[in-house]
Every structure is written in structure tokens, then in C-alpha cells.
Structure 1
Amino acid sequence: MRNEATLIQQPDAQNRRERLWTLIGGVSVRTKILGIVLTLTVVLGLGVTWQVRTVMRNNLLNELELLGQSLMGDLAARSAAPLRQGDIDALRELLTETVANHPDAHYAFVVDADNHVIAHTFKDHVPDELLNLDIKHLMEQQLFHYYQNSFSPGGGHHIHFENKDGFIHDFSALIDENRDETVRVGLSEARLQGIINQTTQQMLMTTVVVGLVGILAAMLLTWLLTRPILDLVTATERVRQGDLTVRVPHWADDEIGALADAFNQMACDLESSHRAVEEKEAARTRLLAQLINAQEEERKRIARELHDGVGQAMTSLLVGLKILDQLDGVQAMRHKAEDLRQVATHTLDNVRLLSRQLRPSALDDLGLAAAVERYLGEFSKLYPTLPVDFHADLPNRLPSTVETSLYRIVQEAMTNAARHSGATALSVLLTQRNGQVQAIVEDNGHGFDPDATYRSGSSVGLHSLFERTELLGGRLVIESSEEGTTIYVEIPV
């Protein structure tokens, strides 16, 4: 049962903590700061007030006790002569003068050994509760103690009690060591309590004023703190809605200022990324459209090649075979067979060329280096005035997708250099090291602006180079100047 009770109490405590944090988290930052400042001001003000009040009360009571002992000793010494002379009026006058000259003195009277009043300062008589104090009870309450000092050589006692006039400190001492008369003086805390209350009131008023000033300062502080934060919240909401042009002002060179700078940099990066994505999407759209057109053009070209080249050659072969069947002489048949063989050879060469243009078989059979080297032979026939320096260091076969992409990239780069750069020399380098395969195509042409050409979307080939490289997780860099262009491709394998 005890364990069950413990398990029940733990969720309750956890729920209370969660509710507390929910309550705290449900208010604004401004309210939190105001609450913290106001709470600290009130707690600090009340704490200081209580501390000052306690210390002040203790000090004043100590001074009151010293005053009572001093007054008691002086009054005892001065009362001895009137008592010896039996001058009760002079004794009464002395008591009255003493009470009048000390603002804290409430009463004074003299009693004999039988506790009979000899003289006093009351209007009528000494109250019975003063004459018959319960000393035993006061001692139990630690409100009665003896004292011995230079003011009262005979010693005396100090009683602290409360009556209808407030708290009274009753001091008594023997008038003379050789006599039994005792003088008693009552000092009131009323004046001291008034001073303490007045000081407390002033400190509380000071706390209120400081609290108001603290609230004003906290409001200013919260405005300084929350204004840039609210600007950040507003800007974040606008970014969430798609406005990437929003920026927040730099308020100060502090943490909030650093946060504003970081937000502005983030928004700038997002805007750049969004613009780059839009440009890529637009480029891909154009590339897709042009690829579709290129595909259709390629189909038309293949159909035209098959119809005009292979089709006509096959027709010529059929006609030749028919003529060959009608020839009588062996020599004529040999000449005609030679013509048909040349037509068949030329047709086969065209079909092979068409096949290589679609996809070179050497790429699948021998690898990238052999396929590029074979392509260089065809390239030199198309562009005999542009020599090509080719070097390859590929110790291992590459994945099929990498070989195909690099082959197309090199093919496109060489074709662009031959068509547009006006170059007189071209070099191609293929290397593989450290898990990367690199392809470098360099010419000495007049160069171009890669960024402007890419953004304009006018070059499908340039977009194709970047697309093929990015699809394989690679990197493509184009450096171009008036002295030439270098295309650097790096793809992980």
C-alpha cells in the first residue's frame, strides 16, 4: 500500500510541475521579465525592511536597557538624601522631574521593604498589577533578569511586560545598601516603536517607489529586448509564407544583433538557394523540352538514314541481284558482283556508324579509355584541323553509369570546343585515383562566360554536362578566359 501511495504521489507532483511550466510558458516574454523584476523588487524590499526593522529594534532596545539602568542608578543615588531626611515631597518632586525629563519614562515610584508605596508619579495611586507582578511567571517567560553594573552598585532587576499602555520595561534597584527602600522606573517602548514604524513605513514607501521605477525600467528593458525578437518572429512568419526577401534590422552588437545577422544570412542563403532551384527547374524544363526535340530529331535522322542510305542501298542490291541473274558473261557478272559488294560494304559502314552514334559498342566491351580513343578517330575525320592530345590512366573498369556519363561529357565538351571556341589544339585527360575519376578537357580557344551562358539557358549541352555530373554526385568546374577553356569533372567511384 505504501508503494502504491508513493506511485500515486509521484504523478501528482509531476502533473503539478507540468502545470506550473505550462502556466509559466503560456505568458509572453514581456510578462515574464516584468514578473521577475517586480518579484525581486518586492522580495528584496521586504527582506531589507524586515532586516533593518529587526536590527533597529534590537539596537534601540539595547539602548533603552542601558538608559534604564543608567537612569535607575542616578535616581537611586539622588533619592537617598530625601529618604534619610524624611522629605517625601522632595522625593516625589524628584520622581516627577525624572519622568518629565525623559520621554521614554512612563512612571517612577519608591517602595519600602514591605512593598508599601512611599512616593510615586501616578495621579491617584500605583496600580496593583505593578506592585504585585508575578515574578515567577515572568522568570519562566524569560522576561525577568537581574543586572549588576556601575550605575547600580547594589544591583537590580529588569522586568519586561505588556499592559494597556503597551510594552513596559520596569527597572528597580535598592536606593542604599544600608536601607530597604527600592526605586522602580518604567520605560515605555511606545516612542521607540513609533520610530521603528516610521522607518518601516519610509522603507516600504521606498520599496514602492523603487518597484515603480523597476517596473518602468523593466518595461523599457522588455521593449528593448522584445522589439527585435518580435521583428524576428514577424520576419520568420513571412519567410514561412514564402517571402524570402525579408530582412530584420541590426539593433545592437549583442547576442540579439548576432541573431539578427544570422537570420539575415539564413534568409539570404535561402533566397539564393530558392533562386538556384528555380533556375535549375527552369533549366531542366528547357533541357527536357530540348531533349525531347533532340530525341525526335534523332529519330527523324535515323529514319532518314535508314530510308535514304540503307533503304536505297538495299534497293540497289536487289536491283543488282536481279540484273546479275540476267547476265550471261562471267566477266560482266564479276564486275556487277564487285559493285554489289561495295554497296553492301558502304551500307554496313553506315549502319555501324549509326550504331556507334547511338551507343559505341567499345564502351561496353573495352571500357571508357578505348571508347574515347575510338571516338577520337571519328572526331579527327570531322575536324581534321583540330589535333587532340589524349592521355588515359584508368587501371580499373568503372561502373557502367559512370563510363557512359563521362563518355558523353567528354564527347559534348570536345564537340563544343570544335564548334564554338575556335581552338587550334585540344587535350583530353582521364585519370583515376583516391576513389575519384577525373576528366579534363582543355582547349586554347577564345573562351566564354560560363555563368552567363548557363543562366541564359541557351546551351543545352552545358546544362547536360552539369546534369550528368550532379546525377552521379560529382563536381564540374568550368574555367574560361581569352586564352582558352578548361572543363574539370570529378566523380566518386
Structure 2
Amino acid sequence: MKQRIVRPVIQFLTKVKIQYKILGLVVGVVALLTSMMVWQMGNVLTTNLRDQLDKRAVSIGSDVAARATNDLLINNTYSVYEMIKETVKNNQDALYIFIVDPQGNVLAHTFGDAFPAELLKANPVDSKEKYHLTAFRTEVGVVRDVAVPILNGKLGTARVGMGEQGLRKAVLSMVWSFLAIALFVSAVGIIAAVILTRVLTHPIRDLVSLTQKVAQGDLKVQGIVHSEDEIGVLTKAFNQMTTSLSENDLEREELLLQLREKEEMRLQLLEKLITAQEEERKRISRELHDETSQALTSLMVNLKVLESEASFCNVGDRLREMRQLVSETLDEVHHLARDLRPSVLDDLGLVPALERYVREYGQTYGIEADFHNMGFDGQRVSAPAEVALYRIIQEALTNVAKYANAQTVSVLLDWRKDWVSAIVEDDGRGFDPEKVITGPSHGLGLFGMQERATLLGGTFRIESQPSKGTTIFIKVPAKSDFEV
């Protein structure tokens, strides 16, 4: 049952705006304090006025008892009646006064013709008491009744009844006055609370609006710092957050742009690799058909001719031609195999393979090429590192031959600890690496070289300027199991 009541209340409060929560809290506290103060004030006033009323009743009763003594001694009841009648007239809160003799007979009273007999036993008093005070409820309300013995009870008892109507009117008047003042003060407090909540929640509403803009993707928004309190600190923290997010967003955009560019280059590189593979297959097929196939066909024709030759001299000449043809065919096959994958790389390692390749490269392109290595001491790096370095250096030297117009080129291979570094340097015309790499498709060769090094966990760097040559730095781990 409690959960059914409490849970909806909590859900409702969570949906209420903070300014209404603050305002409701202030109004509730003000209303509670006002009610408690009015209630407490009414109680205090009632108690104090009732005490005063009791004291007045005792005072009037004692005065009546003293003044009635002489008249009672001479049995002048009429004078006693006039005296109590005058006393009731002069005291607004006095409802009645009557005097009874020691036997309980009423000697004088202010009730007119009908005296309420039940009052005689309502407030008994002992002759030894100075007075006896009691309160009882009647048709006209609560009555404060005081019984005062006359001459120690020998002449009877004086009874005075004081009503609380005047007391209640005084209390209500003072309570209403206080309530009016309290309501005025509460109204001022509520108005101040409304203004204060608006002042306090205005920056919060601004932050909410700015947060919604951030959620929509606007990371350049900034809040206005109105004060140096907690809300001001929160606004500063929000501004720092949006600034950081904006900077991170720019970095993300740059990274995404780089990733897209790399992905485009990967796709172009893949397309180029597929195209290169097909072109290589066409070339091998064409060379096999044009060279090897024709050479084998020529051998078959010569063998057929040998069957019909009768002269030994003619047979010798034919055999020499056939041996020359076989030698040339074998060279072509070796050349094709070496272009596809040099066997010396698998058999002897990276250093001998590069030595042979650089030597043949210089002879083929007419470029003065030299090769140096350090730190190998007959040892071999891992097969993936050998293949990657060989292909990267091969591509670099091919680019030198195609584009650099260089006279000399140097290749340096250095093995230090767990890393192998390679440097390819030429004295060609150089270029702007940034423009070439970011070009539409001109940087695919360089991108492929960089990818090979990156896949092994290495680095690839180019230093070049127009008319100042080019230097390529490659660094890869000596031991790697990643195939490239």
C-alpha cells in the first residue's frame, strides 16, 4: 500500500522542474512555520490571558467577600445585592456573583428571577482555604468559578463566575493580527523565493539548452559565467568540456579523413596489385609463348631435320645451333623465375639477394649503384622481414630508375639489436613527398612501401626536396612472424 502511494509521488516529483521544487519547498516551510507560530502564539496568549482572568476572578471574589462582611453582620442583604450588582456591571468578564450562607442558602445573586441551583454544588470550598478555583462548561461557554470564604466561612461564601468570551475575542484578535503580519512576511518571502529561484535556475536552464545543442552535434557552444558560485564553476566546467570535445572532434575528423584517404589508397593499391598481377601473368605468358615456345618449336624442327641429314658436318652445325637455342631459353626461364622471386633470397638470405640485385640493377639501368651492410655477421633476419625489406628496396630502386634521373644511388642495410634499418639514397631531382603521397594515385608505390613496413610494426620515412635528391629510411623488427 505504501509503495503504491509513495512511488507515484516520487515519480511525479522527479518530473517537476527544479525551480518549482525550490519554490514548493520554500512555500511549504513558510506555511509550516507560520502555522506553528500561530498555533504556539494562540496557546501562549490563551494561557496568559486565562491566568490573568483567574487572578481577576480571585481579586473580585476577595473584594466582594471583604465588602460584604459588614453588611452580612447586620443582615443587610439588600446592600450586599446592590454591591454585587454594581461589581458585575463594572467587570465585563464577570458573568455572575452570588453569596450563600454557611447552610447553603443563597443570600444575594445577579441572575435575576431564576437562580441555577446546580451552581451551589459546582465549586465547594473549605473554610481553611483562601479561595477555590474551578472551571466548567455551560451553555454560554467555559466559566471560571471562584469561591471565597467570608470571614473564614462563618458568614458564608462569595462566588464569582468569569466567562472566557472576552478572552477568546482577545486571543482571536491578536492571532488574526499576527497571522496578517505572518502572511505579509510569508508573501514577501515567497516573492523573494520566486525571484531567487529564477536567478538561480536561469543559468541552469541555459546549461540545459546548451546541453541539448551539444547533443545535436554543436560542440562550439559556450555558457556565460554569471557568478563565481557552484553554478559558475559548473558553467566553467561545461565550457571546458565543450572546448575539449570540439578539439577532440576536430582530431577525430582529421583521423577519419586520414583513414578515408588511407582506405582509398588501399583500394587503389589493391586494384594496382591485381592489375600488376594480371599484367605480370600476361607478360610471363607472352614471353613463354614468344620465346620459350618458339625455342622449343625450333628445337623440334631441328631434331626433325637431323633425322634426314646425311652429312656429319651438317649434323654438327645443327647441334651447335640447338645448344645455343637451349642456352638462351634457359636464360630466359631463369630471368622469369628471378623476377617472380629470387631464389637466392630463400637460399642465402637478404644480404646476398640485395647484393646481386643492386649489381644487376646498376648494369641494367646504367646507374652507379652501391650496397653496404653492417651487423649481420652471417645471421639472417626472419623471412617476413627479408621479403618486406627486399620488396621495399626493390620498389625504391625502381622509382629511382623511373622518376629520379639520378646518377648514383646507395643502399645501406644495418642490423642493430632487434631492429634492421635500411637507407636508400639517390642524387636525383627529388620531389615533394606530401604532394606525391596525397595525390590522386601517384603515391601508391610509396604507400605500398609504407604499408609493408607498418604491417611488420616498423616505420617508413621519406626525406626529399626538389633538386636535392631523395632519402628513404626503413626500420623493421629483425624477428617477425607477420607475413607481408
Aligned partner of 2:312 in structure 1 is 328
Which sections of structure 1, spanning at least 5 residues, go unmatched? 1-8, 137-145, 147-151, 240-244, 433-437
User: Which of these residues, 243, 246, 250, is aligned with residue 223 of structure 2?
Assistant: 250
Does structure 2 conserve the Cα–Cα contact (< 8 Å) formed by 1:426 and 1:442? yes
User: Which of these residues, 333, 339, 345, is aligned with residue 330 of structure 2?
Assistant: 345
Distance across 2 between alignment mates of 1:203 and 1:52: 9
- Offset of residue 225 of structure 1: 0.9
Relative distance call for 1:40 and 1:185 in structure 2 (3 A) is same
Q: How do residues 142-161 of structure 1 correspond to structure 2 at under 5 angstroms? A: 154-159=130-135, 161=137
Aligned partner of 2:146 in structure 1 is 172
Which string of whole-angstrom CA distances, capped at 9 and with x for unpartnered residues, describes residues 11-50 of structure 1? xx7777775666556x4xxx42133123312321221122
Secondary structure class of the residue paired with 2:17: helix
Does structure 1 conserve the Cα–Cα contact (< 8 Å) formed by 2:349 and 2:386? no
Distance across 2 between alignment mates of 1:461 and 1:134: 123
Aligned partner of 2:97 in structure 1 is 109
Quick check: 1:47 aligned with 2:27? Answer: no
- Offset of residue 132 of structure 1: 7.0
Relative distance call for 1:467 and 1:177 in structure 2 (3 A) is farther
User: Which of these residues, 430, 443, 453, is aligned with residue 459 of structure 1?
Assistant: 443
Quick check: 1:266 aligned with 2:266? Answer: no
Aligned partner of 2:229 in structure 1 is none
Structure 1 or 2, whichever has the larger Rg, is: 2
Aligned partner of 2:76 in structure 1 is none
Which string of whole-angstrom CA distances, capped at 9 and with x for unpartnered residues, describes residues 29-74 of structure 1? xx42133123312321221122212321232233123313432343
Secondary structure class of the residue paired with 1:184: strand
User: Which of these residues, 161, 167, 191, is aligned with residue 184 of structure 1?
Assistant: 161
Secondary structure class of the residue paired with 1:218: helix
Distance across 2 between alignment mates of 1:299 and 1:409: 24
Secondary structure class of the residue paired with 1:247: coil
Aligned partner of 1:63 in structure 2 is 48
Does structure 1 conserve the Cα–Cα contact (< 8 Å) formed by 2:220 and 2:243? yes
Which sections of structure 2, spanning at least 5 residues, go unmatched? 72-78, 226-231, 363-367
Relative distance call for 1:262 and 1:311 in structure 2 (3 A) is same
Distance across 2 between alignment mates of 1:481 and 1:174: 127
Which string of whole-angstrom CA distances, capped at 9 and with x for unpartnered residues, describes residues 263-312 of structure 1? 45335434533443344334433442354245435533553455358733
Distance across 2 between alignment mates of 1:16 and 1:397: 77
- Offset of residue 229 of structure 1: 1.6
Quick check: 1:281 aligned with 2:260? Answer: yes
Aligned partner of 1:354 in structure 2 is 339
Secondary structure class of the residue paired with 2:152: coil
Quick check: 1:213 aligned with 2:192? Answer: yes
Aligned partner of 1:234 in structure 2 is 213
- Offset of residue 191 of structure 1: 0.6
Which string of whole-angstrom CA distances, capped at 9 and with x for unpartnered residues, describes residues 380-422 of structure 1? 5425534343556999997xxxx55873366326743873698
Quick check: 1:385 aligned with 2:369? Answer: yes
User: Bigger shift: 333-342 or 38-47?
Assistant: 333-342
User: Bigger shift: 291-300 or 58-67?
Assistant: 291-300
- Offset of residue 372 of structure 1: 6.8
Relative distance call for 1:49 and 1:16 in structure 2 (3 A) is closer
Distance across 1 between alignment mates of 2:9 and 2:378: 68
Relative distance call for 1:176 and 1:389 in structure 2 (3 A) is farther
Relative distance call for 1:286 and 1:37 in structure 2 (3 A) is same
Q: Provide the alpha-carbon RMSD of the alignment.
A: 4.8
Distance across 2 between alignment mates of 1:18 and 1:182: 63
Distance across 2 between alignment mates of 1:230 and 1:481: 52
Distance across 1 between alignment mates of 2:464 and 2:294: 53
Secondary structure class of the residue paired with 1:385: strand
Does structure 1 conserve the Cα–Cα contact (< 8 Å) formed by 2:358 and 2:370? no
User: Could you tell me the percent identity over the aligned residues?
Assistant: 13
Aligned partner of 2:74 in structure 1 is none
Does structure 1 conserve the Cα–Cα contact (< 8 Å) formed by 2:369 and 2:409? no
Which string of whole-angstrom CA distances, capped at 9 and with x for unpartnered residues, describes residues 330-357 of structure 1? 764564355234313311321221221x
Distance across 1 between alignment mates of 2:109 and 2:286: 152
Secondary structure class of the residue paired with 2:387: helix
Normalising by structure 2, report the TM-score.
0.69
Does structure 2 conserve the Cα–Cα contact (< 8 Å) formed by 1:115 and 1:131? no
Does structure 1 conserve the Cα–Cα contact (< 8 Å) formed by 2:69 and 2:151? no
- Offset of residue 259 of structure 1: 4.0
Aligned partner of 2:178 in structure 1 is 199
Normalising by structure 1, report the TM-score.
0.68
The residue type paired with residue 412 of structure 2 is L
The residue type paired with residue 333 of structure 2 is L
Aligned partner of 1:141 in structure 2 is none
Distance across 1 between alignment mates of 2:381 and 2:386: 13
Distance across 2 between alignment mates of 1:492 and 1:210: 78
Does structure 1 conserve the Cα–Cα contact (< 8 Å) formed by 2:454 and 2:460? no
Count of residues paired in the alignment: 433
Aligned partner of 1:427 in structure 2 is 413
- Offset of residue 463 of structure 1: 3.0
User: Bigger shift: 291-300 or 445-454?
Assistant: 445-454
Relative distance call for 1:394 and 1:312 in structure 2 (3 A) is closer
Does structure 2 conserve the Cα–Cα contact (< 8 Å) formed by 1:76 and 1:176? no
Q: How do residues 18-29 of structure 1 correspond to structure 2 at under 5 angstroms? A: 23=12, 27=15
